[in-house]
């Protein structure tokens, strides 16, 4: 029996296997802790049978510490009913719960005992005051008003919402006051300091112009009615909102140069210094259009260099249906490479970073690293460079789910949403000639008994044990929490890059962390900055420290400043506050 | 074990055991094609027109599976239907079903390039690059110079990171028509991947020169410039970037694309009608397709096939030719027209098309065989044998091909080669009466009557079928006749005639043998039998009158000759007229002789042909009329000519006659000498 959305409430829990444990490659081990952690969220896409495009696009999740208690809480984005006729009860999978569909906030009440933490999530949505009842897509978790408390920016089909964290467990809707209510269809955003003024700006990725009035009926090659592809609609331009430091934003889209580029069907974004010039860049994943690489120029201007950097099109020179994006140093050469997730009959694509400072250069190394064929059949969304097996090399996770029946199975009355696909993980292994390549992890590593229509992937150390856990969101399906159990006794070092603000410390975003080790190249990690798909992950960094001695830790801040700290204590996350380390900027004029 | 084929839900085709076993395709037979099940295709929700189209194709396939007959043609037909179904599934992106159908088509028609190529394409679309490489390699073996296969192989290897292999295929494609730009593009990609941007840039630029409309190449040129540090050139190239890809000649892919449009459905409707023997409807559908799609070779080919099926060969040939004009390198069309021309006896035209077919696709076995037929029919037996050798490279164990090649060696004068080939056939396939007979004949042609006789005797001992036994006895009779062992020859001829009463040559040769033994009346009778079997056979007629003359039946001979000369278009009339003149001049029977008539006839004949025989008869006639002076003069002239020609054997008789004429004595019945 295939899982089909039975409604909502707790019924979904019954469909999940209790604590599914899957081992792979001898070292990879995840435990499905969804039920034991008390996560009962089910996404509802509100489909009415009319195949409205947004139904297949959402939704994501955010891992963030909303109560500053040192562990990661969870925000989950919800859909809603779509249609001019009928209501929630008349949907293909009717909404049967008493309360209306809304995004949910779960507090992590991590319990310590027997040397291992037990994750318990408590639904605190009601007391938080968050009433996100739009048709949700994605979410960003960042301290947007510099008060030391992480706020939430929710991306919607329709106006986005900014939920200000009041620091007392509640949130208030500051959308209007902040000027962040972009009315278009947004799926993802990056909160990052684009102008170097030490507050977080918002780069909002908009998808395309859709409304129920402009809804189109699309047909496959076999003349089957199916969900549309993005080419059926006009792309919606992205937006850059600049923070004045207090949580109020000005639209700098034109001033920053974003209007100079042809709009794309944006679905994914991350912020990082990709070209090694110590200035923050933005990489935007566009669906079936060339991806954008917005390079920071230091003058408040962003320059779109996707094409000339080789990161916009695959090796064939073709634009792919990019959905999710991840940045990580897969080959240990010290820079951040890019991984893009794509539609079926396209490969996911790995762009190796060959940049020299100030000269962005990427090269498609998908097939050379073995990532081509395994992703051919999948439609992949959420993704991340994650050290799944704690060997210090960044592996890849990609969660999958079709968007058309043509890529899935025919739709029937019993199976109205047959878009489920298995998720995938790829382990980073030594390749020929000293390089690196990826091998598919055993099938089922990231799946329940039956696959779902996966979309979001938020990676973070949910149980604070130094490895990366995964939250996978499923369209019209249950959220899943997979706890990494690779090697519970291994030593690790964790750091939390923070910025001091006038009212508290906040997690940094788009920070490059380099962990220098004796006799081995540094481990390079991106902290914050977004990525994946419609989701936001842990802004902290943890690396294994058992095999190689850690000498020092270097942090490159978004404004170009580089600081260094000695090795931090093991098995804990140590705050590294900007301005408290040893400056390592080599030359004054290096600073942007 | 029965291997059921499930074409789609609710249409389980348990087909393979019953019908295919009947068709000699039993799954347990190691030589039988191994067919695989076709995955279910769920067409719920699919547009009715598309569903109908697919259902109709499935219907044809199921019907063929159910109808299976024990002939190779059934497997051939099934292969075509699986191929058609595979193409249709491919058009509608039903890849697993397409792959299964095309796998079966390729299994049933292993020499069909199209199925292999499309199977590679299906595998490529499914992302199964290893399988695509394997399948394209098989396609390449069938058609080594196909540009699309070379490009696709290069690309698949490139995708797999096998740069050397990719480079090899692209290099090969450089020399093939229609793929030069794509080959340079591929070589550029390989060079770029292997960190050689200088070479990459050269190839990209060459590709652009070859195909200026492929403006997507500017992107790759820009990246190569970037890798070389040429910033300005990189930016300039990027400005020119467009989205037109590098194209290459890929007619099969184009045809599949065409199938997705209305013509596919239209042609299918025609084929459905054709399968139901509704020829007029099929013709009508195909004519509509021809009218609606004037650029479609497939429409013309289908119409030609329908007309051919209706026996309207001339029209069919015309439409095949029309299709060929639109698609001049279509191997299937070249073969089909070649076949038709061969059937019409237009062997030169057939050879021309078939030669083109095998130039394009050297592994197209049936085309080599048909080409051999064209050569053989025009007497070019060694060329025919060569063509059959090419066919045999593709099917080394094919007995028939070896048999026909040996036959062509024989007819082409390479008898030793033919002998060895036939002998090896006996070794490989066991005793075969027909081959033994041919071996005997070849031995005979090689001047080895003893060996030949042993072969024929072997056949006689083996108790061959009556026709072959007759042949063996006939040949033995001939050998004995050649050895002048007429008594032994006669019973062989008689047994040959007993086994095959229509064996004219046996009667004729029997007559010869009897004549040699002086049994002229029997010899005349045998010649008469031969003449009855073929009244136009002037040899038999001559043999009969000669035997009758020798038997002393001069009056009968005169009558027969006079009647013969009155027959219209009687072959050899010169001979019979001269013989009549001779009989009139020299018969021993006074009632038969007529000197004046003999002289008139002989004079008339001599004016037409001045041979020694004519001169001799003229002399006989003069002598018969009493004009011995003229007789002597003509006989002396004859002797001078014979002396000049060195015909010494004839001189004694000639001189003897001269002496008779000088003694004013006529010559009588000279044929008895």
Among B97, B125, B219, pick the best mutation site for testing chain A contact (most A Cβ within 10 A). Answer: B219
CA–chain centroid gap for A404, Å, is 22
- Provide the number of CB pairs (under 8 Å) joining chain A to chain B: 70
CB contact under 8 A, B159 and A368: no
CA angle B284, B288, B289 (to 5 degrees): 120
Q: How close A278 gets to chain B, by Cα (Å)?
A: 22
pLDDT band at A116 (very low <50, low <70, confident <90, very high): confident
Q: State the sign of the Cα–Cα–Cα–Cα dihedral B44, B50, B52, B53.
A: negative
CB contact under 8 A, B47 and A367: no
Q: Which tokens is B572 given?
A: 């050899």
CB contact under 8 A, A368 and B160: no
pLDDT band at A549 (very low <50, low <70, confident <90, very high): confident
CB contact under 8 A, B49 and A223: yes
Mean pLDDT of A406-420: 85
Tally the residues of chain A: 592
CB contact under 8 A, B226 and A345: no
Which of B47, B189, B220 is nearest residue A222 as measured by Cβ atoms? B47
CB contact under 8 A, A308 and B227: no
Is residue A224 less than 8 Å (CB to CB) from chain B?
yes
pLDDT digits (tens, 9 = 90+) for A504-531: 899 999 999 999 998 889 999 999 989 9
Q: How confident is the model at residue B27, as a pLDDT? A: 37
Is residue A412 less than 8 Å (CB to CB) from chain B?
yes
Rounded Cα distance between A577 and A508, Å, is: 9
Rounded Cα distance between A462 and A388, Å, is: 14
Q: Which tokens is B376 given?
A: 């053989």
Q: How close B98 gets to chain A, by Cα (Å)?
A: 14
Set of chain A residues whose Cβ sits within 8 Å of the Cβ of B218: none
Over chain B (673 residues), what is each successive 10-residue block's mean pLDDT?
A: 31 32 38 76 71 81 69 73 88 88 91 92 90 95 92 94 94 90 96 94 95 93 93 93 88 74 67 72 84 80 85 87 84 87 91 90 87 94 94 88 95 94 92 92 91 91 82 92 92 92 92 92 93 88 91 92 76 80 93 93 89 91 94 93 88 93 92 80
CB contact under 8 A, A307 and B42: no
Q: Where does A82-232 show beta strands of DSSP type E?
A: 104-108, 111-113, 116-118, 121-123, 135-142, 151-157, 161-165, 171-173, 186-192, 201-206, 218-219, 225-226
SS (H, E, C) A231-249: HHCCECCCEEEEECCCCCE
Is residue B163 less than 8 Å (CB to CB) from chain A?
no
CB contact under 8 A, A308 and B216: no
Set of chain B residues whose Cβ sits within 8 Å of the Cβ of A372: 127, 129, 159
Q: How confident is the model at residue A349, as a pLDDT? A: 97
User: Any idea what DSSP says for residue B543?
Assistant: H
pLDDT digits (tens, 9 = 90+) for A282-297: 999 999 999 999 998 7
CB contact under 8 A, B159 and A411: no
Q: How confident is the model at residue B262, as a pLDDT? A: 62
CB contact under 8 A, B93 and A221: yes
Among A222, A345, A353, A418, pick the best mutation site for testing chain B contact (most B Cβ within 10 A). Answer: A222
Which of B92, B161, B238 is nearest residue A221 as measured by Cβ atoms? B92
Distances in Å between the alpha carbon of A298 and those of A96, A301, A357, A558?
53, 7, 14, 11
Which of B43, B45, B223 is nearest residue A411 as measured by Cβ atoms? B45
CB contact under 8 A, A377 and B127: yes
Q: How confident is the model at residue A8, as a pLDDT? A: 30
Rounded Cα distance between A330 and A185, Å, is: 33
Is residue B239 less than 8 Å (CB to CB) from chain A?
no
Integer Rg of chain A from CA = 22
Which of B91, B126, B220 is nearest residue A317 as measured by Cβ atoms? B220
CB contact under 8 A, A219 and B241: no
Is residue B235 less than 8 Å (CB to CB) from chain A?
yes
CA angle A170, A172, A175 (to 5 degrees): 150
Q: How confident is the model at residue B110, as a pLDDT? A: 87
Higher pLDDT: A300 or B353? It is B353
pLDDT digits (tens, 9 = 90+) for A2-60: 222 323 332 333 333 333 333 333 456 889 999 999 999 999 999 988 899 999 998 99
Set of chain B residues whose Cβ sits within 8 Å of the Cβ of A219: 47
Cβ(A445)–Cβ(A453) below 8 Å: no
Least CA distance to A221: which residue of chain B? B92
Which of A307, A361, A412 is nearest residue B238 as measured by Cβ atoms? A307
Query: What number is the ipTM of this complex?
Result: 0.85
Other CB atoms within a 10 A radius of the CB of residue A352 amount to 22
Cα dihedral A241/A243/A247/A251 (nearest 10): -30
Q: Which of B347, B373, B369, B344 is nearest to B358 (CA)?
A: B369
Least CA distance to B42: which residue of chain A? A410
Is residue A405 less than 8 Å (CB to CB) from chain B?
yes
Rounded Cα distance between A582 and B378, Å, is: 96
Other CB atoms within a 10 A radius of the CB of residue B78 amount to 28
Rounded Cα distance between B431 and A295, Å, is: 85
Mark residue B217 as left, alpha or beta (left: phi above 0; alpha: psi -120 to 50; beta: remaining): alpha
CB contact under 8 A, A310 and B161: no
Is residue B129 less than 8 Å (CB to CB) from chain A?
yes
Contacts of residue A401, Cβ cutoff 8 Å, sequence gap at least 6: A379, A381, A419, A420, A421, A451, A452, A453, A454, A455, A474, A475
Tally the residues of chain B: 673
Q: How close B53 gets to chain A, by Cα (Å)?
A: 11
Is residue A183 less than 8 Å (CB to CB) from chain B?
no
φ, ψ at A522 (rounded to 5°): -65, 150
Set of chain A residues whose Cβ sits within 8 Å of the Cβ of B207: none
Q: How confident is the model at residue B178, as a pLDDT? A: 83
């Amino acid at each position: 029996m295939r899982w089909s959305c039975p409604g909502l409430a707790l019924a979904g829990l019954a469909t999940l296997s209790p604590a599914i444990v899957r081992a792979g490659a001898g070292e990879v081990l995840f435990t499905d802790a969804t039920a034991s952690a008390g996560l009962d969220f089910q996404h509802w896409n509100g489909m009415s049978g009319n195949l409205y495009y947004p139904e297949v696009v959402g939704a994501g999740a955010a891992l963030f510490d909303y109560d500053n208690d040192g562990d990661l809480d969870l925000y989950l984005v919800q859909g809603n009913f779509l249609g001019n006729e009928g209501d929630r009860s008349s949907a293909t999978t009717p909404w049967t719960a008493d309360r209306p569909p809304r995004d949910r906030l779960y507090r992590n009440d991590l319990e310590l005992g027997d040397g291992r933490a037990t994750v318990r999530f408590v639904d605190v949505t009601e007391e938080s005051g968050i009433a996100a009842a739009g048709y949700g897509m994605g979410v960003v978790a960042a301290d947007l008003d510099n008060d030391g408390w992480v706020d939430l920016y929710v991306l919607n089909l329709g106006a986005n919402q900014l939920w200000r964290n009041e620091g007392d467990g509640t949130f208030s809707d500051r959308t209007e006051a902040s000027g962040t209510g972009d009315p278009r269809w947004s799926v993802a955003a990056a909160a990052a300091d684009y102008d170097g003024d030490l507050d977080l700006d918002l780069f909002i990725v908009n998808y395309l112009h859709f409304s129920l009035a402009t809804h189109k009926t699309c047909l496959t090659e076999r003349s089957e009615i199916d969900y549309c592809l993005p080419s059926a609609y006009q792309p919606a331009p992205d937006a850059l909102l600049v923070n004045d430091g207090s949580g109020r934003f000005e639209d700098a889209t034109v001033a920053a140069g974003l209007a100079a580029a042809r709009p794309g069907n944006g679905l994914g974004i991350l912020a990082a210094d990709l070209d090694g010039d110590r200035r923050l860049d933005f990489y935007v994943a566009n669906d079936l259009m060339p991806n954008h690489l917005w390079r920071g120029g230091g003058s408040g201007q962003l320059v779109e260099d996707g094409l000339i950097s080789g990161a916009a099109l695959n090796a064939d020179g073709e634009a792919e249906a990019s959905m999710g994006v991840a940045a990580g140093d897969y080959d240990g050469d010290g820079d951040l490479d890019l991984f893009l997730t794509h539609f079926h009959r396209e490969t996911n694509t790995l762009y190796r970073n060959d940049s020299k400072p100030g000269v962005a250069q990427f090269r498609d190394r998908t097939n050379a690293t073995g990532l081509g064929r395994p992703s051919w059949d999948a439609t992949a969304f959420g993704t991340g460079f994650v050290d799944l097996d704690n060997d210090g090399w960044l592996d890849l996770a990609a969660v999958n789910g079709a968007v058309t029946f043509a890529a899935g199975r025919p739709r029937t009355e019993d199976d109205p949403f047959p878009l489920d696909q298995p998720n995938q993980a790829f382990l980073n292994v030594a390749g020929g000639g000293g390089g690196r390549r990826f091998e598919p992890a055993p099938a089922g590593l990231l799946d329940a008994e039956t696959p779902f229509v996966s979309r979001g992937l938020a990676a973070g150390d949910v149980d604070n044990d130094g490895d990366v856990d995964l939250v996978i969101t499923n369209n019209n399906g249950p959220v899943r929490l997979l706890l990494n159990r690779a090697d519970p006794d291994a030593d690790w070092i964790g750091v939390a890059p923070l910025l001091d603000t006038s009212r508290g410390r906040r997690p940094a975003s788009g920070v490059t962390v380099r962990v220098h080790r004796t006799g081995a190249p540094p481990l390079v990690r991106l902290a914050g900055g977004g990525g994946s798909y419609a989701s936001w992950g842990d802004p902290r960094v943890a690396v294994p420290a058992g095999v190689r001695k850690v000498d020092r830790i270097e942090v490159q801040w978004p404004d170009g400043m580089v600081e260094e700290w000695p090795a931090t204590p093991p098995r804990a996350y140590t705050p590294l506050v900007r301005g408290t380390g040893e400056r390592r900027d080599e030359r004054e004029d290096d600073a942007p | 074990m029965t291997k059921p084929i499930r074409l789609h839900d609710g249409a389980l085709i348990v087909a393979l055991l019953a019908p295919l076993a009947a068709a000699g395709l039993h799954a347990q037979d190691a030589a039988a094609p191994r067919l695989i099940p076709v995955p279910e295709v769920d067409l719920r929700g699919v547009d009715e027109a598309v569903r109908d189209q697919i259902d109709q194709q499935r219907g044809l396939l199921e019907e063929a599976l159910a109808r299976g007959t024990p002939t190779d043609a059934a497997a051939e037909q099934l292969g075509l239907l699986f191929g058609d179904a595979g193409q249709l599934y491919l058009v509608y992106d039903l890849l697993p079903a397409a792959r299964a159908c095309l796998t079966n088509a390729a299994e049933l028609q292993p020499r069909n390039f199209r199925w292999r190529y499309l199977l590679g394409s299906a595998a490529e679309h499914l992302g199964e690059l290893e399988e695509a490489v394997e399948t394209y390699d098989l396609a390449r073996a069938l058609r080594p110079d196909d540009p699309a296969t070379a490009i696709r192989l290069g690309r698949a290897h490139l995708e797999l990171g096998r740069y050397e292999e990719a480079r090899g295929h692209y290099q090969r494609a450089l020399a093939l028509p229609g793929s030069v730009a794509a080959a340079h593009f591929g070589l550029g990609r390989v060079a770029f991947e292997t960190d050689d941007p200088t070479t990459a840039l050269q190839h990209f630029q060459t590709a652009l020169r070859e195909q200026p409309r492929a403006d997507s190449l500017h992107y790759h040129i820009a990246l190569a410039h970037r890798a070389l540090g040429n910033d300005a050139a990189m930016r300039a190239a990027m400005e020119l970037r467009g989205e037109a890809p590098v194209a290459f000649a890929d007619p099969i892919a184009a045809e599949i694309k065409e199938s997705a449009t209305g013509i596919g459905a239209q042609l299918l409707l025609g084929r459905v009608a054709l399968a139901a023997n509704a020829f007029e409807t099929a013709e009508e559908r195909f004519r509509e397709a021809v009218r609606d799609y004037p650029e479609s070779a497939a429409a013309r080919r289908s119409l030609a096939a329908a007309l051919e099926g209706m026996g309207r060969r001339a029209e069919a040939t015309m439409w095949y030719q029309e299709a060929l004009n639109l698609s001049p390198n279509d191997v299937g069309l070249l073969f089909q027209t070649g076949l038709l021309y061969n059937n019409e006896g237009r062997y030169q035209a057939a050879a021309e098309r078939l030669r083109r077919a095998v130039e394009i696709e050297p592994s197209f076995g049936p085309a080599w065989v048909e080409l051999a037929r064209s050569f053989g029919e025009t007497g070019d037996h060694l060329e025919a044998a060569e063509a059959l050798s090419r066919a045999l490279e593709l099917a080394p164990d094919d007995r028939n091909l070896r048999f026909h090649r040996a036959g062509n060696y024989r007819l082409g004068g390479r008898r030793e080669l033919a002998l060895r080939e036939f002998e090896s056939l006996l070794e490989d396939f066991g005793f075969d009466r027909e081959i033994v007979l041919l071996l005997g004949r070849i031995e005979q042609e090689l001047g080895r009557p003893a060996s030949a006789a042993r072969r024929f005797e072997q056949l006689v001992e083996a108790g061959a079928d009556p026709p072959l036994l007759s042949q063996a006895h006939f040949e033995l009779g001939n050998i004995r006749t050649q050895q002048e062992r007429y008594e032994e020859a006669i019973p062989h001829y008689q047994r040959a005639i007993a086994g095959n009463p229509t064996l004219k040559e046996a009667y004729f040769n029997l007559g010869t043998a009897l004549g040699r033994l002086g049994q002229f009346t029997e010899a005349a009778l045998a010649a008469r039998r031969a003449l009855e079997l073929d009244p136009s056979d002037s040899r038999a007629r001559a043999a009969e009158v000669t035997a009758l003359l020798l038997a002393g039946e001069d009056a009968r001979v005169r009558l027969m000759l006079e009647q013969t000369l009155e027959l219209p278009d009687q072959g050899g009339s010169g001979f019979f007229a001269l013989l009549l003149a001779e009989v009139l001049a020299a018969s021993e029977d006074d009632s038969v002789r007529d000197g004046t008539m003999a002289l008139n006839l002989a004079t008339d004949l001599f004016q037409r042909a001045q041979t020694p025989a004519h001169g001799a008869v003229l002399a006989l006639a003069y002598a018969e009329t009493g004009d011995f002076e003229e007789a002597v003069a003509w006989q002396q002239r004859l002797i001078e000519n014979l002396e000049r020609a060195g015909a010494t054997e004839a001189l004694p008789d000639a001189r003897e006659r001269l002496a008779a004429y000088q003694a004013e004595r006529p010559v009588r019945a000279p044929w008895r000498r």
